[in-house]
Amino acid sequence: MPFVIILAILVAIAVYSSVAIVPQGYKYIVQRLGKYHTTLTPGISFIIPFMDKVAFKVTTKDIVLDIPSQEVITLDNAVLVMNAVSYINITTPEKAVYGIEDYTWAIQNLVQTSLRSIVGEMNLDDALSSRDHIKAKLKMAISDDIADWGITLKTVEIQDIKPSPTMQAAMEAQAAAERQRRATVTKADGEKQAAILEAEGRLEASRRDAEAQVVLAEASQKAIAMVSAAVGEKEIPVAYLLGEQYVKAMQDMAKSNNSKTVVLPADILNTIRGVMGRNPQ
């Protein structure tokens, strides 16, 4: 009786061990006596108990691999901090488990190495503005390598690309200096234009003053000619008018803060005659 129970238990264990149920989205790698035997697809499959063993359970769904951030030096010696994310799919599970020790770690290193190589051939401005170009070259660089491991690279995306903290501080200082330079140039241009306008204004004012002086001189000349023609030899009225202006000018001089003493000539009439250009009597 005990033997029958033990035998029944062993048969139950053998039957249970011979059935392999593979869920959707996975493939199982079966080894027979330590050697690769077959790959089980989703559904129910049967294996030989105690000889066959499910050694690996591999997902067939897309896998998202985060690529850690790293510092990359551009062609013009600028330091950038970059990270990425890659989407892969295992198409041949036996190659993925037997062809590489750790495909996750290997792909991460491939992406990082390729990024350094690609960005190292670009200038800073090109690297910051050419994500699609970097993405295309990166995908081309690693697709053939991981294909040998039975893995397909669906896509790779550059998550973030920015200058290092030291480089960013230098760029901000450069931008501030450029803004200051532009402000200085704008201010200098404004002052130059203002000085030019002011000089042009003074020139125009001087020109107008000169024209006014000419007009006044011509008017005075005409007035003197008319007065001379009118009075002829009659000097008394003219002398009176000139004498009045002369005395008024002396009074104005007396009111000035710079001169407090005014000396009038003893013979004003003869002085006026001299002003008129006639010989004193």
Number of domains observed in the structure of the chain: 4
Tokens of 10: 């062993």
Report, in this order, helix, strand and coil percent for the chain, each rounded to 5: 55, 25, 20
The answer to whether residues 82 and 153 belong to one domain is yes
Number of Cβ atoms within 10 Å of the Cβ of 63: 16
Do 68 and 55 share a structural domain? no
Q: What residues make up the domain containing 120?
A: 63-163
Boundary residue ending a domain (14, 32, 59): 59
Distance CA 215, CA 108 (A): 93
- How many whole angstroms separate alpha carbon 48 and alpha carbon 249? 139
How confident is the model at residue 238, as a pLDDT?
57
What is residue 101's predicted lDDT score, i.e. its pLDDT?
87
Instruction: pLDDT tens for the chain, 281 residues: list them.
Output: 676 777 677 667 766 677 888 899 999 999 988 899 999 999 888 888 888 888 999 999 999 999 888 888 888 888 888 889 999 999 999 999 998 889 999 999 999 999 999 988 888 888 888 888 888 899 888 988 899 899 999 989 888 888 877 766 666 677 777 778 888 888 888 888 888 888 888 888 888 888 888 787 777 677 666 766 665 555 555 565 566 666 666 666 666 665 555 555 545 556 555 555 555 55
Give dist(CA 93, CA 100) in Å, integer.
11
What percent of the chain has pLDDT above 70? 73
**Residues 79 and 118 both lie in one domain:** yes
Q: Residue 193 has what pLDDT?
A: 87
Residues 92, 146 share a domain: yes
Instruction: Let me know whether 223 and 253 are in one domain.
Output: no
The predicted pLDDT at position 183 comes to: 81
Query: In terms of domains, do 227 and 238 share one?
Result: no
Residues 120-149: tens digit of each pLDDT: 888 888 888 888 888 889 988 898 889 989
* Co-location of 67 and 153 in the same domain: yes
DSSP 50: T
Q: Are residues 130 and 52 in the same domain?
A: no
98 and 157 part of one domain: yes
* pLDDT tens for each residue of 55-107: 999 999 999 999 888 888 888 888 888 889 999 999 999 999 998 889 999 99
Question: Edge-to-edge, what's the strand order for the sheet holding 79-90?
Answer: 63-73, 79-90, 151-163
